[in-house]
Amino acid sequence: MKALAQDIAEGYLSINPIILKPMDADSLKALYEAVNRYQIEIRAEKFPFGDPQAIRMRNLKLQRLFGAVMVIRNFAKSKRIILI
């Protein structure tokens, strides 16, 4: 699941309800936790002061991960799956 979270952050994979539909509750929870964990890892890295390109890439990764978290939450809510 960590590899999926990294792919989401890099932009290789886009999360949408069609991708999440075949997943069972346990794998959906695991993906949710992996994305949250990877988001925390990126936030914990040293901030690249003075490097606009690195700042942009960091923010873009965080934006993709946050979007994935929102899609997973809304999908789980519609299917009545408790993530936490």
Who contacts 72 (Cβ-Cβ below 8 Å, separation ≥6)? 15, 20, 28, 31, 32, 35, 83
Instruction: List pLDDT tens digits, range 5-55.
Output: 999 999 999 999 999 999 999 999 999 999 999 999 999 999 999 999 999
For 46, the token pair is 């040293």
1, 30 contact by CB (below 8 A): yes
Distance from C-alpha of 57 to C-alpha of 31, rounded to nearest angstrom: 22
Give the global pTM. 0.92
Sort residue 51 into left (φ over 0), alpha (ψ -120 to 50) or beta.
beta
Distance from C-alpha of 53 to C-alpha of 18, rounded to nearest angstrom: 32
Is pLDDT at 84 greater than 90 in this prediction?
no
